[in-house]
Amino acid sequence: MKKTYRAMQITRPGMLELVERPTPEPGPGEVLLEVEACGVCGADAMDIEQPDPALDAPRVPGHEVVGRIAAIGAGTPPIWRMGQRVGVGRLGGHCNACDACRRGQFQLCRNQPFVGASCDGGYAEMMVARSTGLVSIPEALSAEAAAPILCAGIATFNALKKCGAQAGDRVAVFGIGGLGHMALQYARRMGFEVIAIGRGDDVAADTLALGAHVYIDATRDDAAARLLALGGAQAIVATVGDAASVSALMRALAPQGRMVVLGAGKDALAVSPGLLVVGEQGVLGSLTGSPYENEKTLNFSVLTGVRPTIEVLPLVRANDAYQKMKSGKAQFRMVLTMENPPLDGSQR
């Protein structure tokens, strides 16, 4: 094993620097991963632009990590083996001792790290991870394709499972980006009538190719009125953090419909109690999910052919990948690889 590894760390807010670090040894219940790929997620912006000064610095971001186990710490369950392909998402491994864990709600454990924020993440050739956070990666998926599924995939897959809609119902996906483009694919394969709501004509053709039956351009039309004209939606999955826009769509919910919020903005949602009461409607938030749920998402993706649309860049160009993600010009996910990209710059 190499004595050192390369990593892109946050040297100051908003700036990533390529450094060489000594290769760590995993502690009890931990493994050392040799990283193959790491997705660049919108949530990385908070970690990179506003790192918590109370946490150890400098931090390595990235929480859509796929690699192989290179070393195993004492006490790690035998289901994890040397050389095994595994992944780690945003939730870095539950404690197995808190009230949430004892209820089996591992995604709600308050004693687990947030990968890339409170512990080092995957913008690096090596990474230490808790074994309770590990996800088995199917061989049918490349590392680059699997990485975004560990966050964007499970977030939208679980949101659709919680939305209360049944096959044949109308479901809207609000926000067509890294999350939304996965939600459209999952929704179509779950048997929903899929309505995509985005901004501008440039994504219209993409949404239909990804599985939407209808595209609504919110810059041209009153999205709620258009959705109501179609009969309303049994569920709306909102992937954006703009509280005002999400609130405006509430009136387009069908009776007993649900608004599932994925965008973790800070502004308050303006929700009419009358709509909730008269229509028996609901608003709920949805986190990513447990490692077991992540494996379900990966398996569903393999079985149904769901794949993220990605652009691959090498680790040394992490700043470029991050800036392209922030600009909104990525189609639809940026992924870092520890290998050099093709010389012709082709996308995969």
Q: Which pLDDT does position 272 carry in this prediction?
A: 86
Q: Which pLDDT does position 307 carry in this prediction?
A: 98
Q: Which CATH architecture has domain 155-285?
A: 3-Layer(aba) Sandwich (3.40)
* Cα 323 to Cα 119: distance, rounded to the nearest angstrom: 22
A 10 A CB-CB count for 148 gives: 29
* Cα 122 to Cα 289: distance, rounded to the nearest angstrom: 19
pLDDT tens digit string along 229-255?
999 999 999 999 889 999 999 999 999
Q: Which pLDDT does position 138 carry in this prediction?
A: 97
Q: What residue ranges do the domains of the chain occupy?
A: 4-137+309-337, 155-285
Please give the average per-residue pLDDT across 174-198, as a whole number.
Answer: 97
Q: Which pLDDT does position 78 carry in this prediction?
A: 96
CB 68 within 8 A of CB 123: no
Q: Which pLDDT does position 340 carry in this prediction?
A: 57
Q: Is the pLDDT of residue 215 over 90?
A: yes
Q: Which CATH architecture has domain 4-137+309-337?
A: Alpha-Beta Complex (3.90)
Please give the average per-residue pLDDT across 202-226, as a whole number.
Answer: 96
Q: Which pLDDT does position 319 carry in this prediction?
A: 95
Two tokens at 269?
Answer: 């949602």
Average pLDDT of the chain, as a whole number: 93
Q: Which pLDDT does position 331 carry in this prediction?
A: 85
Q: Which pLDDT does position 22 carry in this prediction?
A: 97
Q: Is the pLDDT of residue 344 over 60?
A: no
Q: Which pLDDT does position 342 carry in this prediction?
A: 43
pLDDT tens digit string along 199-210?
999 999 999 999
A 10 A CB-CB count for 285 gives: 13
pLDDT tens digit string along 269-327?
888 898 899 999 999 999 999 999 999 999 999 999 999 999 999 999 999 999 999 98
pLDDT tens digit string along 110-154?
999 999 999 999 999 999 999 999 999 999 999 999 999 999 999
Quick one: which of 332, 314, 20 has its CA closest to 156? 332
Please give the average per-residue pLDDT across 164-189, as a whole number.
Answer: 97
Question: Is the fold of 4-137+309-337 the same as that of 155-285?
Answer: no
pLDDT tens digit string along 47-88?
999 877 777 779 999 999 999 999 999 999 999 999 999 999
Q: Which pLDDT does position 347 carry in this prediction?
A: 40
